[in-house]
Structure 1
């Protein structure tokens, strides 16, 4: 039985459009990465994007190593705490390697900035960043992604890995809760 307090979002981008944007992004990324690149997914939200992008890169003959970094700044809230917590570190060494950092959404930029710093501190030779969605922000961010699949509106997004207190990550498209 459905929870009566759960509201469902207004769809902003369909599953079909998500897939098309991933293919376009993979086309742009394929010439920039190789099989020695380490693709690092920021967990948890980036998992859907990373999985689809890795398959799209494979269709283009690119097979980067895959790893994940679990950072948290939101917990179950709709606003960031402003502090980054490392919940699980990398498993692959990145020293001397190119890294492709993948995340679901660029909002404040805190997680992406912290991850880039961690990867550079770990000796990555280059850190490329790719996000599925970039939301507008009123001030300059410390890190802007190298690759963006979708320029999203300034709304509270759910679906395709993005959540509302852990819910709705599995929606195949992206919706707004506000």
Structure 2
């Protein structure tokens, strides 16, 4: 495993993101975590935003497009939808990594269809991609085009628990 970001570097990037996001969102913004990968990032970022005085609501979407594969299947399935109404609300969608953009695009479509008033997106890591795709409003780290694990990103369900980010290729 090649360590790309240490735990301390991850923490610093999350704090920097919170500094950028806090002035852009209102109290009461609904944070939507894309399960399962964004759980670690969401926990850290929402606590950082709370330290900056933001009071947030929480929800999650469980989308599936990878399974245990290393590439997106091209189809995003909803395994569990939103649990609260987002009608008219400001929503901040959080994901761990953006590569093809299909999961984030699917999440935005779901939240839009549910009537959200304003939708913002944030990813911890953005990998380079050759085709046009959805672009997040906030990005924590411009990642290399490598197979990443740790900090919520996995290899067939393993290594999500690592506090930093590693490359497995």
* Fold shared per TM-score above 0.5: yes
Partner of 1:28: 20
Partner of 1:148: 139
Q: Confirm whether residue 172 of structure 1 aligns to residue 163 of structure 2.
A: yes
* Residue deviations 1:8-44 (CA, integer Å, cap 9, x gap): x210011000000000000000011122210000000
Partner of 1:4: none
User: Once superposed, which parts of structure 1, at least 4 consecutive aligned residues long, lie more than 2 Å away?
Assistant: none
Task: Quote the Cα distance in structure 1 between the aligned partners of 2:99 and 2:55.
Answer: 28
Task: Quote the Cα distance in structure 1 between the aligned partners of 2:71 and 2:29.
Answer: 33
Structure 1 segment 81-160 matched on structure 2, within 5 A: 81-141=73-133, 143-160=134-151
Task: Quote the Cα distance in structure 2 between the aligned partners of 1:105 and 1:98.
Answer: 22
Partner of 1:6: none
Q: CA deviation at 1:80?
A: 1.1
Task: Quote the Cα distance in structure 1 between the aligned partners of 2:84 and 2:14.
Answer: 25
Return the index of the structure with the highest Cα Rg: 1
Task: Quote the Cα distance in structure 1 between the aligned partners of 2:129 and 2:147.
Answer: 13
Task: Quote the Cα distance in structure 2 between the aligned partners of 1:100 and 1:32.
Answer: 10
Q: Give TM-score scaled by structure 1 length.
A: 0.94
Task: Quote the Cα distance in structure 1 between the aligned partners of 2:27 and 2:154.
Answer: 31
* Residue deviations 1:70-93 (CA, integer Å, cap 9, x gap): 000000111111111101111111
User: Is the Cα–Cα contact under 8 Å of residues 33 and 64 in structure 1 kept in the other structure?
Assistant: no
- 5+ unaligned residues in a row in structure 2: which ranges? none
Task: Quote the Cα distance in structure 2 between the aligned partners of 1:114 and 1:147.
Answer: 17
Q: Confirm whether residue 66 of structure 1 aligns to residue 67 of structure 2.
A: no
Partner of 1:5: none
Q: Confirm whether residue 163 of structure 1 aligns to residue 146 of structure 2.
A: no
